[in-house]
């Protein structure tokens, strides 16, 4: 009995202890979280900022952290917590005091940058609750904007005035300081690559003489980060695969006008290529693939060549119909021997065919106008090369602002859909303008054109230009795919008048031409032209040669042509070839008064360079021979000089003159153009050009003497009225009677 009493007593004590513990723990449970004091601010702003939740254990440390987080929202000037004990647990109430609403926002001290340009940087709004975090964010945005305008020393502070009626006025105080430009960029740790070479791979540049035009000298933090990545890539492309470029150190001069940038570099060793292996699915024999590879064992590793090899293998697989072939370049780096072993692992996937071609975005242009430019048709085996060519052809129609071809998988693994997505651009223009040339003085121009009539691809142009020297009226109609054949037909009618010092000539006529492609990049053409030209108003003091040209004569000719075009973009090319060869035969079986043979050849190539710039080189040669005992009429001579040949010279001035100094043209022409083209403002299609021209017009075999040279610069704009060229050329070796510089302006269609 005694033992039973002792056991009962112990059990009772244990149960009482457990019950007491449970009751004590219940009092530490948060049964409710409340918010009070908020009027304009939603309750959720507070509850989202806190970690204390209902039905969780009360934690004083968490409460203190919650108070800080609520205060950090910036909407409250004071935050307190009231904790009430209840039998069920704790009721936690966050007591907040809202900041006043903003009644007015103003800027003071900004004299060099307009208030309108700064408004979008302000993160506060009138009527909203005063938020100190938004104010600090605004200060940072204003500083960044000033830095983007070269005011790196600009200081921005703020002032809050509390008005009657519990409202606040916020004023941002700006001290603009002086503009600062990058004065010097230096590198540390670059032992093998020179500083001059490294700066070529940076867009951040030191301020130069032409900084007002090129924008050099501006520093941007995001651009500096990109420059660092470019430098690392450049080092990797020269074998320094472990090279690093540290964070830039920037120093502002005491007067706030100059910035000094230092970039720390760790180069490491040059790595060579060890073994080169091919693995995975092979679409073509390994020997054939190895011939494509530019990464060779023993050569210095270059990341750009590695990427080219990946592209080459991928294109080879995709050209065999494996649209989703994937090539994974695997690298094994051996730091002890400074070598990299390469493995190109190919996963070819299924061979696929084109299922459907879907066209979207063409509100005006007919589907067949788009389909006929595609080198892929429904049912065809997929080809990456033909897809790429289709994109180029679609872009070069010039009907579309944007165009793209996308592959879309279907439920069948061996079939894909091809989506042609286009965004049309306005193809019709009406324009009038006034230009000026140092040769022609004031030029009045006007044009009406439509390059996609009724969405059929039919093109029509009517142009006129009148000056004190020239009158030109030209009408053209071009019909691609006439009768749904892969043949382009064109009709041209013209009326030209040109005035020289001792004579004038007027030519009226027209031409009909056909053009047919023989490959994707090559076309052949045949043109028949007929015109009647009158040489008149010959002055008494004109040379005997000019006086012998007086009168009216007809020209009936046939011209055979070959065109070659691989330009990546017809309106704004940066890579590719453009070449043309013409052979015109007049008279003989074609009739007419004039009898001559006139071959002309020209070829140019664009070389893409960094930062969307390009070099362009072009050569032009031509000659005219008479036959049948006749002479070549003066208006069939080559008049070299001007915007289309050797700039820096007036029309025909870079060629022969008679004994009176009159421009009479030459039997031959030979000249070369060298250009460097760079973007000025990409969204508007505005580009700049620096050029050097050399060549001349000549007679007989005298093609190596009296060669003219010129250099200059200009602006090219793909305006809504059509392509515009404005260029100033300087004669590098002016002779008596020649202009030292010539300004030229032209508005018309790009080739």
pLDDT digits (tens, 9 = 90+) for 523-564: 999 999 999 999 999 999 999 999 999 999 999 999 999 999
Question: Per-residue confidence at 441, pLDDT binned at 50, 70, 90?
Answer: low
**Predicted confidence (pLDDT) per residue in 47-74, tens digit:** 999 999 998 999 999 999 999 999 888 8
Give the span between the Cα atoms of 377 and 395, in whole angstroms.
Answer: 18
Same domain, 432 and 518: yes
φ and ψ at residue 479, rounded to 5 degrees: -120, 100
Give the span between the Cα atoms of 68 and 76, in whole angstroms.
Answer: 11
> For position 117, what pLDDT does the model report?
87
Q: Which of 453, 678, 690, 446 is nearest to 572 (CA)?
A: 678
Range in 158-172, 377-391, 506-520 with the lowest mean pLDDT: 158-172
8 Å CB contact between 245 and 204: no
Over 726-739, what HEC string results?
EEEEEECCCCCCCC
Task: Select from 347, 370, 402 the last residue of a domain.
Answer: 347
Give the domain CATH number at 442.
2.40.160.50
How many domains does the structure of the chain reveal?
Answer: 6
Strand residue runs (E) in 14-154: 30-36, 76-86, 89-98, 102-108
8 Å CB contact between 602 and 577: no
Mean pLDDT of 80-105: 90
Q: How many helices (H) and strands (E) does the chain have?
A: 12, 33
**Residue 103 pLDDT more than 60?**
yes
Is 12 part of a structural domain of the chain?
no
> For position 165, what pLDDT does the model report?
65
Same domain, 76 and 108: no
Residue 715 vs residues 114, 677, 740: alpha-carbon distances, Å: 29, 9, 20
8 Å CB contact between 211 and 180: no
8 Å CB contact between 174 and 158: no
Give the span between the Cα atoms of 202 and 225, in whole angstroms.
Answer: 10
Is 558 part of a structural domain of the chain?
yes
**Predicted confidence (pLDDT) per residue in 159-199, tens digit:** 988 877 678 899 999 988 878 888 899 999 999 999 988 99
Give the span between the Cα atoms of 106 and 124, in whole angstroms.
Answer: 11
> For position 721, what pLDDT does the model report?
63
Mean pLDDT of the chain: 88
Q: What residues make up the domain containing 226?
A: 181-266
Same domain, 444 and 561: yes
Burial class (CB in 10 A: 0-12, 13-18, 19+), 243: buried
Same domain, 292 and 359: no
Mean pLDDT of 359-365: 92
8 Å CB contact between 31 and 55: yes
Same domain, 94 and 118: no
Give the span between the Cα atoms of 731 and 728, in whole angstroms.
Answer: 10
Same domain, 622 and 654: yes
**Predicted confidence (pLDDT) per residue in 300-356, tens digit:** 999 999 999 999 999 999 989 999 999 999 999 999 999 999 999 999 889 999 999
Give the span between the Cα atoms of 14 and 18, in whole angstroms.
Answer: 6
Residue carrying the six token digits 């036959």: 627
**Residue 745 pLDDT more than 80?**
no
**Residue 8 pLDDT more than 70?**
no
Is 81 part of a structural domain of the chain?
yes
Task: Select from 393, 424, 455 the last residue of a domain.
Answer: 424
Same domain, 513 and 580: yes
**Predicted confidence (pLDDT) per residue in 114-149, tens digit:** 888 898 899 888 888 888 888 999 999 998 888 878
Question: Coil, strand, or helix at residue 43?
Answer: helix
> For position 607, what pLDDT does the model report?
95
Question: Per-residue confidence at 750, pLDDT binned at 50, 70, 90?
Answer: very low
Question: Per-residue confidence at 229, pLDDT binned at 50, 70, 90?
Answer: very high
Same domain, 681 and 704: yes
8 Å CB contact between 549 and 584: no
Residue 638 vs residues 445, 512, 549, 651, 709: alpha-carbon distances, Å: 25, 23, 16, 10, 17
> For position 22, what pLDDT does the model report?
42
Is 15 part of a structural domain of the chain?
no
Range in 104-113, 215-224, 344-353 with the lowest mean pLDDT: 215-224
The string of DSSP codes covering 610-663 is: GGG-EEEEEEEEEE-EE-TT----GGGSB---STTSSTTS-TTTTS-B-TTS-B
Question: Per-residue confidence at 1, pLDDT binned at 50, 70, 90?
Answer: very low
Cα dihedral: 388, 573, 477, 365 (round 10): 50
User: How many CB atoms are closer than 10 A to CB 588?
Assistant: 15
Is 492 part of a structural domain of the chain?
yes
CB neighbour burial string for 181-209, b if at least 16 within 10 angstroms, e if fewer: bbeebebeebeebeeeebbebbebbbbee
Residue 195 half-sphere exposure toward CB, CA atoms < 13 A: 12
Cα dihedral: 387, 390, 395, 396 (round 10): 140
Residue 240 vs residues 23, 131, 224, 301: alpha-carbon distances, Å: 70, 50, 21, 8
**Residue 43 pLDDT more than 50?**
yes
In this predicted model, which residue has the larger pLDDT, 725 or 244? 244
**Predicted confidence (pLDDT) per residue in 457-484, tens digit:** 999 999 888 887 788 899 999 999 998 8
Same domain, 700 and 566: yes
Give the span between the Cα atoms of 69 and 74, in whole angstroms.
Answer: 9
8 Å CB contact between 337 and 270: no
Question: Per-residue confidence at 436, pLDDT binned at 50, 70, 90?
Answer: low
> For position 209, what pLDDT does the model report?
76
The string of DSSP codes covering 667-710 is: SEEEEEEEEEEEEEEGGGTEEEEEEEEEEEEESTT--SSS-EEE
Length of the chain equals: 751
Task: Select from 175, 190, 218 the last residue of a domain.
Answer: 175
> For position 440, what pLDDT does the model report?
61
> For position 179, what pLDDT does the model report?
80
Same domain, 472 and 501: yes
Give the domain CATH number at 187.
3.10.20.310
8 Å CB contact between 682 and 639: no
**Predicted confidence (pLDDT) per residue in 680-712, tens digit:** 877 778 899 999 999 999 998 788 888 999 999
Instruction: Please give the radius of gyration of the chain, using alpha carbons only, rounded to the nearest integer.
Output: 38
Same domain, 300 and 391: no
Residue 372 vs residues 357, 477, 516: alpha-carbon distances, Å: 12, 20, 14
> For position 434, what pLDDT does the model report?
65
Which are the contacts of 221, defined by CB distance < 8 A and separation ≥ 6?
Answer: 147
Which are the contacts of 661, defined by CB distance < 8 A and separation ≥ 6?
Answer: 737
**Residue 508 pLDDT more than 70?**
yes
**Predicted confidence (pLDDT) per residue in 568-624, tens digit:** 888 789 999 999 999 999 999 999 999 999 999 999 999 999 888 999 999 999 999
Helix (H) / strand (E) element for 212: namely: helix 211-214
Question: Per-residue confidence at 433, pLDDT binned at 50, 70, 90?
Answer: low
Same domain, 317 and 433: no
Q: Which of 502, 437, 430 is nearest to 463 (CA)?
A: 430
Structure tokens at 172: 């941002």
Question: Per-residue confidence at 422, pLDDT binned at 50, 70, 90?
Answer: very high
**Residue 722 pLDDT more than 70?**
no
Is 586 part of a structural domain of the chain?
yes
Is 576 part of a structural domain of the chain?
yes
Is 445 part of a structural domain of the chain?
yes
Question: Per-residue confidence at 437, pLDDT binned at 50, 70, 90?
Answer: low
CB under 8 Å, gap of 24 or more: what pairs does 440-445 form?
Answer: 440/467, 440/468, 440/469, 440/470, 441/467, 441/468, 441/469, 442/467, 442/468, 443/467, 443/745, 445/747
Q: Which of 261, 256, 262, 255 is nearest to 180 (CA)?
A: 256
Give the span between the Cα atoms of 697 and 703, in whole angstroms.
Answer: 8
End-to-end CA distance of the chain: 118
Helix pair angle (384-395, 303-318), 10° resolution: 100
């Amino acid at each position: 009995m005694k033992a039973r009493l002792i056991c009962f007593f112990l059990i009772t004590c244990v149960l009482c202890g457990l019950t007491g513990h449970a009751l004590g723990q219940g009092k530490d449970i948060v049964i409710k979280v409340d918010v009070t004091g908020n009027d304009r601010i939603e309750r959720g702003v507070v509850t989202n900022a806190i970690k204390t939740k209902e039905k969780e254990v009360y934690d004083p440390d968490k409460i203190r952290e919650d108070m800080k987080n609520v205060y950090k929202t910036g909407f409250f000037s004071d935050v307190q917590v009231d904790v009430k004990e209840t039998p069920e647990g704790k009721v936690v109430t966050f007591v907040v005091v809202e900041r006043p609403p903003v009644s007015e926002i103003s800027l003071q001290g900004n004299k060099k940058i307009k208030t309108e340009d700064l408004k979008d940087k302000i993160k506060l709004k009138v009527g909203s609750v005063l938020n100190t975090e938004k104010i600090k964010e605004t200060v940072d945005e204003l500083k960044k904007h000033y830095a983007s305008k070269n005011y790196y020393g600009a200081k921005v502070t703020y002032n809050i005035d509390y008005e009657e009626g519990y409202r606040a006025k916020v004023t941002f105080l700006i001290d603009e300081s002086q503009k600062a430009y990058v004065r010097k960029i230096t590198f540390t740790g670059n032992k093998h690559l020179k500083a001059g070479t490294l700066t070529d791979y940076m867009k951040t540049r030191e301020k130069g003489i032409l900084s007002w035009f090129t924008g050099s000298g501006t520093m941007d933090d995001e651009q500096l980060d990109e420059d660092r990545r470019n430098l690392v890539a450049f080092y990797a492309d020269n074998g320094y695969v472990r090279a690093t470029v540290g964070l830039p150190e920037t120093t502002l001069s005491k007067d706030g006008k100059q910035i000094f940038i230092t970039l720390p570099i760790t180069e490491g060793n040059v790595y060579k290529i060890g073994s080169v292996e091919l693995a995975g699915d092979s679409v073509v024999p390994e020997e054939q693939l190895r011939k494509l590879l530019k990464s060779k064992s023993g050569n210095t590793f270059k990341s750009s060549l590695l990427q080219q090899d990946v592209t080459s293998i991928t294109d080879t697989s995709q050209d065999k119909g494996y649209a989703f072939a994937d090539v994974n370049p695997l690298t094994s780096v051996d730091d002890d021997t400074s070598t990299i072993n390469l493995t190109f692992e190919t996963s070819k996937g299924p061979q696929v065919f084109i299922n459907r071609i879907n066209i979207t975005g063409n509100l005006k242009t007919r589907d067949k106008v788009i389909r006929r430019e595609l080198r892929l048709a429904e049912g065809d085996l997929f080809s990456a090369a033909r897809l790429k060519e289709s994109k180029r052809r679609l872009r070069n129609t010039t009907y579309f602002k944007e165009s793209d071809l996308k592959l879309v998988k279907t439920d069948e693994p061996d079939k894909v859909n091809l989506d042609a997505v286009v965004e049309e651009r306005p193809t019709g223009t009406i324009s009038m303008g006034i230009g000026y040339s140092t040769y022609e003085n004031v030029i009045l121009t006007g044009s009406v054109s439509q390059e996609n009539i009724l969405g059929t691809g039919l093109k029509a142009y009517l142009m006129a230009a009148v000056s004190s020297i020239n009158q030109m009226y030209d009408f053209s109609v071009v019909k691609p795919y006439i009768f749904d054949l892969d043949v382009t037909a064109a009709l041209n009618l013209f009326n030209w008048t040109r005035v020289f010092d001792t004579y004038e000539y007027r030519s009226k006529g027209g031409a009909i031409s056909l053009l047919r492609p023989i490959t994707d990049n090559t076309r052949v053409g045949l043109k028949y032209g007929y015109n009647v030209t009158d040489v008149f108003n010959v002055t008494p003091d004109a040379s005997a040669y000019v006086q012998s040209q007086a009168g009216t004569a007809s020209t009936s000719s046939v011209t055979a042509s070959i065109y070659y075009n691989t330009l990546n973009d017809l309106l704004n090319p940066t890579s590719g070839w453009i070449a043309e060869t013409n052979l015109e035969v007049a008279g003989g079986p074609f009739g007419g008064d004039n009898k001559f043979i006139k071959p002309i050849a020209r070829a140019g190539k664009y070389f893409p360079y960094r930062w969307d710039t390009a070099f362009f080189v072009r050569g032009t040669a031509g000659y005219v021979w008479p036959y049948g005992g006749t002479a070549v009429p003066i208006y069939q001579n080559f008049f070299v000089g001007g915007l289309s040949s050797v700039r820096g010279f007036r029309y025909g001035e870079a060629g022969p003159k008679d004994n009176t100094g009159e421009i009479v043209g030459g039997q031959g022409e030979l000249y070369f153009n060298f250009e460097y083209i760079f973007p000025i403002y990409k969204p508007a299609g505005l580009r700049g050009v620096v050029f050097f021209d050399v060549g001349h017009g000549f007679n007989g075999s005298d093609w190596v003497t009296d060669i003219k040279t010129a250099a200059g610069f200009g602006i090219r704009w793909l305006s809504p009225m059509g392509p515009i060229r404005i260029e100033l050329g300087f004669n590098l070796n002016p002779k008596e009677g020649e202009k030292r510089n010539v300004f030229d302006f032209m508005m018309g269609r790009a080739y």
